Amino acid sequence: MSFNGLGMNMGNLSRLSTAQSRSISPENFDGAKGRGGMATEGTGAEPARDLGRGWKLSPSVRIASGATFTLADIEDSGAIQQIWMTPTGNWRHSILRIYWDNQTAPSVECPVGDFFAMGWGKFAQLSSLPVCVNPGSAFNCYWEMPFRKRCRITLTNIAAEQMTLYYQINYTLTKVPDDCAYFHAQFRRVNPLPYKEVYTIVEDIKGQGQYVGTYMAWGSNNRGWWGEGEIKFFMDGDTEFPTICGTGTEDYFCGSYNFDLGKELGGYTPFTTDQAGLHQVIRPDGRYSSQQRFGMYRWHVSDPVRFQSDLAVTMQALGWQSGGRYLPLQDDIASVAFWYQTLPTAPFPSLPDKDYLEVN
């Protein structure tokens, strides 16, 4: 659905709008009209030395170790429509934050790799409606992100090395309808999950909104199947028992029977679709990469989970043990929860430190 150019789909591409298209990149840091490609210095100055201004003088930026770079700072009303970037270095050590309407706390706080469903620091093709990742590190998201007063997007490099970033943020300036909520994304990681504890994807969401997606990076620390656990959505005053309860991890991610076609057909079988996928399977190599690791996403584009006042989402980690009994697992689990809600944003838990974030 769209309104006055806020968002488009194939059914309304022909409709006219008064919205104004803008784009921020290293060739136009503030997205101003008629001011793209005006740089006189930048990372492309040397190869463009014979061509001069207007010939790709500033295609990227370099972010020093410990520095925070402002990707966008828009003071107006409108919506982010697409973000493309190609970060170098350790994707867990680049922290993406987004702030709406002059809030001091971020509504998005996430390592850049996990935000684009690449939590293991390795490329895997992902082809879906709101997120696609293409060779070799082309991160794209199409989550619609409306704002009414201001949008500020930053990237912090917590690595020891300088990073290079190519990026483009496409957006529209337009009036935002009263019933549009604000985009949120929150990262968590527990390694290992304590015995008999349930993994929390997100909790303490306060306000009205809809939950729209989950990404999980799951590292198995046991030799058997790891996905018997149920997802649970606790909403609008639920206490001990949830309103929505799944039937298994692979079921929630729209697969079945362990994502496994059998040994003769290759076992775990990756897949990527518009709204769900097991897009990444990292297999042991017989040397130092000893554990199986998986990347999965489930977007609730067609079936958003709507809540009126509060929401928490959990996932059990269960395998099998002797006697046909469930085994509570102690796996390496990271996740990103994606949702829309009214402001203000409740404070997020502090991100883990650099060493705890790192994938080993």
State pLDDT tens for residues 84-108.
Answer: 999 999 999 999 999 999 999 999 9
CATH number of 20-176: 2.60.120.1390
Given a cut of 90, is residue 249 above it in pLDDT?
Answer: yes
Given a cut of 50, is residue 1 above it in pLDDT?
Answer: no
State pLDDT tens for residues 283-332.
Answer: 998 888 888 999 999 999 999 999 999 999 999 999 999 999 999 999 99
Q: Region 213-230: what's the mean pLDDT?
A: 96
Q: What is the pTM of this model?
A: 0.96
Domain ranges of the chain: 20-176, 183-348
Q: C-alpha distances in angstroms, 340 versus 145, 160, 308?
A: 9, 34, 12
Given a cut of 90, is residue 275 above it in pLDDT?
Answer: yes
Given a cut of 60, is residue 3 above it in pLDDT?
Answer: no
Distance CA 318, CA 96 (A): 31
Q: Region 245-257: what's the mean pLDDT?
A: 97
Is the fold of 20-176 the same as that of 183-348? yes
DSSP state of 291: S
Q: Region 202-219: what's the mean pLDDT?
A: 98
Given a cut of 70, is residue 4 above it in pLDDT?
Answer: no
Q: Which CATH number fits domain 183-348: 2.60.120.200, 1.10.8.60, 2.60.120.1390, 3.90.1720.10?
A: 2.60.120.1390
Task: Locate all alpha helices (DSSP H) within the chain, ordered by sequence.
Answer: 112-115, 249-252, 354-357
